[in-house]
Structure 1
Amino acid sequence: MVESLFSPLTLRGTEIPNRVFVSPMCQYSATDGMPNDWHLVHLGSRAVGGAGLVLSEATAVSPEGRITPNDVGIWTDEQRDAWSRVTEFVRSQGSVPGIQLAHAGRKASTAQPWEGGDPVPLDEGGWEVVAPSEKPYPRDGDEHPTRRLSTDEIAGVVDDFAAAAERASDAGFEVVEVHAAHGYLLHEFLSPVANDRDDDYGGSFENRTRLLREVVGAVRAAWPDDEPVFVRISATDWLDEEASWDVEQSARLAPLLADAGADLVDVSSGGISPAQNITYTGPNYQLPFAETIREHVHDEGADIAVASVGGITSPEQAEAIVANERADAVLMAREFLRSPYWPLHAARELGEDVEWPVQYRRAKPR
């Protein structure tokens, strides 16, 4: 059976009504990690717009795991309870609520992007930055002093992700995504660009992937058996001139993520270094990474779905990705900022009859 963009995707016991997913998009609009009315409206409007899965932005598993002081979190019960208002509304619109759990690593403690994104000093509300190694994220100007995590602290990171997953489930989320991309902590352990450790968490491929595999296993253990676990990865660091993370290692990693309990790998790229040389070839420029990984997991017989991101804007483009089995789903970010109701318009263009919110049915094209 050939799947379409508006075919449901069932992972474990969870049915996602279509293959259009809202990609996590940082809003930098929280106080003390608490989601607020902005997050309810931002995520809720995409559910009204017909997205099959609405993923929250990168949600910190600990205070030091935030990118900025204004990131949302889920390290307290109060944050958990605030998220429940969002999940209840998203679910009421027929969408599946999902959350991305994250730790910013050496890219933490910075100002909001519209305030320049520079490191926030300790005496101005910043905090100590931790990473695999004492290698700060390269910046033009001041760099955060970066402290190497001890093995005991690494175990604490695993515990933080597991505790966050448990709170997320209690808050009503039905999909959890582990953020291991874009130069944040788990990606930093994967890539030799940021990881020069010589212990069990550095050096070889097995050692560099160890923390991510442990985190996925711990999240899977804390998460309901009938609900899926996603992992977002950067397929490549876009750094061909030095030892780095690349698509071949990503393909090798994907079956290991399946073994650890992941059900879908969400394939993005980049973020580990400002020296990255991204080759933009136009729409679908990141799709070949997802295709390579999807082919490899099928060859290996691994039971894990693969989703693609990157420059996906038109209904025909998204439909072709799914119908031609290039990926199992698409995640969109900027296009959802431009058009919160994109799935409703896409369904019309593709000749699909989908439900509109009852409050909006008078506007549904006939």
Structure 2
Amino acid sequence: MTLDLPLIWAGLIAFAVLAYVVLDGFDLGVGILFPLVQGEANKDEMMNSVAPVWDGNETWLVLGGGGLFAVFPLAYSIIMPALYAPIIIMLLALVFRGVAFEFRWKTRRGQFLWDWAFAFGSTVAAFAQGVALGALVQGIKVEGRAYAGGWWDWLTTFSLFTGAALVVGYALLGATWLILKTEDHVQRRAYTIAFWAAPLTLAMIGVVSLWTPFLHPLYVARWFGWPNILLAIPVPLLVLAAAYILLKGLTERRETSPFLAALSLFVLSFIGIGISFYPNIVPHSVTIWDAAAPDNSLSFLLVGAVVLVPLILGYTGYSYWVFRGKVKAVGGYH
């Protein structure tokens, strides 16, 4: 049996991107919420909750971006010129927050500057990711296997809305993570934030879901054509189930179910994007197979991925296991 290597690699890269979104999403969310929590001890507690895992979470971003370059060079050569601006802004913002992680502990007089750098970097990175996603969903102009659009094609009402939606969604992830990992004042504040972030996130998911089919006729066929609708209809039903579990968990002051439900909303939204895109990797013109590197290259790289991906999953799981439980402002996890 011949393996469909482009499809396998598309699945691996999609998994890497999803892993980045759900893992780095909550620690970006913690940064977004930083200005909404008062008191240095409380901010220390928030940062301690993600300090052991935040840099490992970003491994998946490197894997996804590097994999796209190596495995789907045509897609990389089209997508990058179309999205240079938001991607560069995102990377610079991630540098801001990464530096803030280290420097805010080194000074007391200037700590407030690094607090704002952490919050600013997290918010801008989340917004830029959402803008890039919106620009990708609305489609990229391609002529002769090259990007044919302009410098500002990524900047539209839809992409700005998806940018704002991702900021709110990450804030929800951050709030539910703090509910899970903290106690006392920070946890109570996180519940309060989650109560407004949850319905706002759900509303924005609804708006994007209703807006997307109007961007291109292909999306209508993907979601409402026969027999595609049989595969697509479970997604909104599962979103409603996750929304119910999320709101019920917040109302009943549960600690674990809100975080898991918020993660589920992101996973389901990602699946929805996959349904809209497939079999294209560059909407709406370049398929997975058209963009793939030669099979010899894909086979060679797959050997490395078979070793590398389980290792990343292993040390990621181990780090979360070691740093399980609640966190304190002083002394870290206990």
TM-score for both structures, normalised by structure 1: 0.28
Name the structure where helix makes up a greater proportion of residues.
2
Higher relative contact order (CA 8 A, sep 6+): 2
